[in-house]
Structure 1
Amino acid sequence: MAFIFKKTVTRWLHQGERVTAAEARRLIKQGKPVEKVKEQSRKWYIRLRLPNGQVKEFPGYTDKKATLAYAAELERDAERLAAGVIHPTDKFLRESVENHLADFQRDLQARGRTAKHITLTLSRIRKVFSVANVETLGDIRPQAIRDAILSLDVSTETRNHHLVACKMFSRWLWKHSKLPDDPLAGLSRWNAEVDRRVKRRALSTDELRRLMEAAERSPRIFRGLTGRDRAALYLLASYSGFRASELASLTRGALALDSNPPTVTVEAAYAKNKRQDTIPLPANVAEYLRDWLRTRATIPAPATRLWPGTWYVKAAKMIALDLEEAGIPVETESGRLDFHSLRGTYATLLARVGVNLQTAQALMRHSDPKLTAKTYTKLGITDLGETVRRLDVALPTRSGDNQKDSVQGNT
């Protein structure tokens, strides 16, 4: 049985202005006059006793007749649910999306997702849902979501990011029995290659050497990093594939430069895949890093960050300044250079020495080999041409050559 009621709400007033309960307590301690007023809420509420004896409350409307109609509808649904006429998840279809987004956020936090990832994911979902006029779970329809994403004035790759965020949420709703199925399961990503607005390129070995030399010569200090610090940073990024945030987390203890082979380890808490990963390093890279550590003013303790500070927030600007000093253009027809290009450089260096895709995938720490092969490996026509020149080419003997050989044999 359901009945409607209005809640009693306590208001606190100071000099005719409404204040919060915390502010009211503070004012009372200071001896200032505070008025306590009790009044009924503007909105009606519904109290429903379910067939199993459980009592639940639901917010209604400011209109009494609309609330009575909603209460009758909730009562009928409860009886049909008890009789097995409707699916248990049907009760969620009229619930606000925002309530479930709050639960989804808490679940992401419990799974160890970073604050940046959570904020970006939720903002993308809310943006799409706002365009698609999604207010309740029942409003999540694949065609509406697809049309809303297509209407965004962004690149195809960014559209895919919005789609992935929405699909994450809809799958979470289904897995947590809030929807009978995943309504967005059938939506697939668009081909980002036809509309790639930001295309990165890898550095050649000559460009990488010039970048490091320019950084070493530079007297500029960028957010606490000297030129030599930045040169060592660029080198390790290019021969480990570590991202800027992962490099910023590295301590002296993460480097095992005297082991065989030398290695660098990123802890699970800072790795994108949330796993502790150890990557082997070339011997001459380890030697450069040893020399860099010896020349520092103070030798860092094992727990000391190698590149402390907030440089990773402006890593693109940092490397752009050093690229300019090295005479290397940031933008070319082949693509743009930024700090993340060093990760692509690592994949390309692996491809140039003939590392197979499975090994490259493991070193790049990718879950999908397609990402390694398609996105990060930036082989140019010169690299491909060098590979082709090493092929063993079989050509048929031309008839003219046979006749010439025959004439020469008869003389």
Structure 2
Amino acid sequence: MAIRRGLFTGSNPAKTVPRIKQPKRLPQYLKAEEVPLMLTALERRWRPMFATAVFTGMRKGELLALRKSDVDLKTGTRRVGRSHASDTTKGNREDLLPIAVGLVPYLREAMATSPSELLFPREDGTKHRPDVALHKVLRRALGRAGLVEGYNHVCRRKGCGYKARKRHGVPEPCPRCGMKLWPRALPRPLRFHDLRHTTATLLLKAGVPLATVQRILRHSDPAITSEVYGHLDVEDMRKGLDQLDFTVPEPATPPSSSH
């Protein structure tokens, strides 16, 4: 900015800063049978928003900025063109997208319960802050639904301090003092953005063409969709590799000699 305004001359010092390589990890997602468990475990006021996230793949800011007027249940379409307080989205464009049949009941409930023009406002009708902790809402629901990595069994007797990590959540007596242990769920480390990954992953696993998934996610380039979700080709690669057969035939049994 200083260079553009003529306040600085010379080479840009930012160019000398080395880029930090970030490892690309596989996206986290919920399996098809886990989505209903998560939705059921949510508080009712959160359920329509989270259902919309899974059914559409919309980003957090786009959901918070969605208005009732953006949803047309008669034509089964939704308009996505805002994010948070901005009049544009990350892709800098407005899109008209279809509404899945399974999402309609959740949208009807959201329209009926929202006290303002927003579809997913706070209880007083105002817009949620951009930093609203939706990931914490998700993690609590995952814990209640049993979608966890395990449980921390903690003794709450003062001075005992015993704790152990176990796979189950059944209360057991403390091996030190005999008091019943309190199992605390350790939810899977999913972010709210991982619901968008869930949408894409389940669509691709269902055989939806990559180009269609790209349009649903509104990626600017199909290569982005392919790069992020390329790991889903592993089963296709397995089928291809299984075509290779190097089984060595067993040698024929020599005929027995008669004397």
* TM norm. shorter chain > 0.5: yes
1:266 matched residue in structure 2: 80
Distance 2:57 2:235 in 1: 25
2:120 aligned with 1:307, yes or no? yes
2:190 matched residue in structure 1: 337
Native 8 Å contact 1:229 1:307 kept in 2: no
2:200 aligned with 1:328, yes or no? no
C-alpha RMSD of the superposition = 3.7
Native 8 Å contact 1:243 1:340 kept in 2: yes
1:156 matched residue in structure 2: 21
Distance 1:293 1:146, change over 3 A: closer
Unaligned ranges ≥5, structure 2 = 122-126, 151-187, 253-259
Distance 1:274 1:361 in 2: 16
**Greater RCO (Cα-Cα under 8 Å, separation 6 or more):** 2
Native 8 Å contact 2:52 2:106 kept in 1: no
| Residues 8-27 of structure 1 mapped to structure 2, 5 A cutoff | none
Distance 2:149 2:4 in 1: 44
Native 8 Å contact 2:27 2:228 kept in 1: no
- What is the CA deviation profile of residues 69-88 of structure 1, one whole-angstrom value per residue up to 9, with x for unaligned ones? xxxxxxxxxxxxxxxxxxxx
Point out the structure with the larger helix share.
1
Distance 2:229 2:129 in 1: 23
Distance 1:352 1:319 in 2: 23
| 1:280 Cα deviation after fit | 1.3
2:227 matched residue in structure 1: 374
Distance 1:376 1:339, change over 3 A: farther
Paired residue type of 1:251:
R
| 1:270 Cα deviation after fit | 3.6
Distance 1:394 1:148 in 2: 48
| 1:99 Cα deviation after fit | 6.1
1:275 matched residue in structure 2: 93
More off after superposition, 230-239 vs 262-271 = 262-271
Paired residue type of 2:10:
G
Choose which of 102, 122, 137 in structure 1 pairs with 2:9.
137
Paired residue type of 1:323:
L
Distance 2:244 2:11 in 1: 63
Q: How many residues align structurally?
A: 204
1:362 matched residue in structure 2: 215
SS of corresponding position for 1:305: coil
| 1:320 Cα deviation after fit | 2.3
Choose which of 231, 238, 258 in structure 1 pairs with 2:47.
231
Identity among equivalent positions (%) equals 28
| Residues 44-83 of structure 1 mapped to structure 2, 5 A cutoff | none
Native 8 Å contact 1:202 1:344 kept in 2: yes
Distance 1:148 1:393, change over 3 A: closer
Unaligned ranges ≥5, structure 1 = 1-96, 104-134, 158-191, 216-226, 404-411
| 1:397 Cα deviation after fit | 11
SS of corresponding position for 1:203: coil
Structure 1 moving runs of 4+ over 4 Å? 144-147, 298-301, 383-400
SS of corresponding position for 2:215: helix
Native 8 Å contact 1:279 1:363 kept in 2: yes
- Structure-2-length-normalised TM-score: 0.64
Distance 1:138 1:312, change over 3 A: closer
SS of corresponding position for 2:131: helix
| 1:312 Cα deviation after fit | 4.3
SS of corresponding position for 2:97: strand
Distance 1:273 1:399 in 2: 58
Distance 2:137 2:37 in 1: 15
